[in-house]
């Protein structure tokens, strides 16, 4: 499936849950309407993208993505279990970086179950895309299209 080492440590998983996705308010967010395509997986999760949600603005691209955890994690603030995260990241293709603008954590797999948290981070800073991470897989999909 392409990516075999999307995330390899719990600390990366925690960082992911804190820095996940972009402008959900700008794109459709309902999991029921998303056209999810599996991008890759590892021992911790499966990564999905919805190619119909790609939005380009100059050198930047946004896409709706989902992480579906094989074993639930825990939200660090409210201590509730998190089995999936859906959101949008914005990728700066020439700079090989991304930033989260908004993401939602769910108790169930594939964006189902109780909404655990709704996080808006529209002023987040761009971070480097790390090789063999889930962000690298999504980056390759959206930036190779340009």
Model confidence pLDDT, tens digit, residues 31-80: 555 799 999 999 999 999 999 999 999 999 999 999 999 999 999 999 99
Percent with pLDDT over 70 in the chain: 77
Cβ-contact 48, 39 below 8 angstroms: yes
User: Mean pLDDT, the chain, as a whole number?
Assistant: 82
Cβ-contact 108, 84 below 8 angstroms: yes
Determine the length of the chain: 146
Ordered by where they begin, the domains of the chain are 10-143 (2.40.128.710)
Please give the structure tokens belonging to residue 57: 């603005």
Evaluate if residue 23 carries a pLDDT over 90: no
Other beta carbons less than 10 A from residue 95's beta carbon: 12
pTM of the complete model:
0.77
- Give me the mean pLDDT over the 108-133 stretch: 96
Distance of CA 55 to the CA centre of its chain: 15
């Amino acid at each position: 499936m392409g990516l075999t080492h999307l995330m390899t440590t719990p600390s990366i998983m925690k960082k992911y849950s804190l820095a996940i996705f972009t402008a959900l308010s700008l794109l459709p967010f309902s999991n029921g309407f998303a056209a999810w395509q599996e991008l890759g997986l590892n021992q911790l999760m499966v990564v999905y993208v919805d190619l119909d949600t790609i939005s380009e603005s100059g050198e930047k691209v946004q896409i709706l993505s989902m992480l579906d955890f094989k074993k639930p994690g825990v939200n660090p603030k409210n201590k509730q279990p998190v089995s999936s995260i859906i959101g949008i990241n914005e990728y700066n293709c020439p700079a090989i970086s991304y930033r989260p603008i908004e993401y939602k954590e769910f108790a169930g797999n594939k964006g189902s179950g109780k909404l655990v948290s709704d996080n808006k981070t529209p002023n987040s800073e761009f971070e480097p895309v790390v090789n063999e991470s889930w962000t690298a897989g999504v980056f390759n999909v959206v930036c190779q299209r340009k």
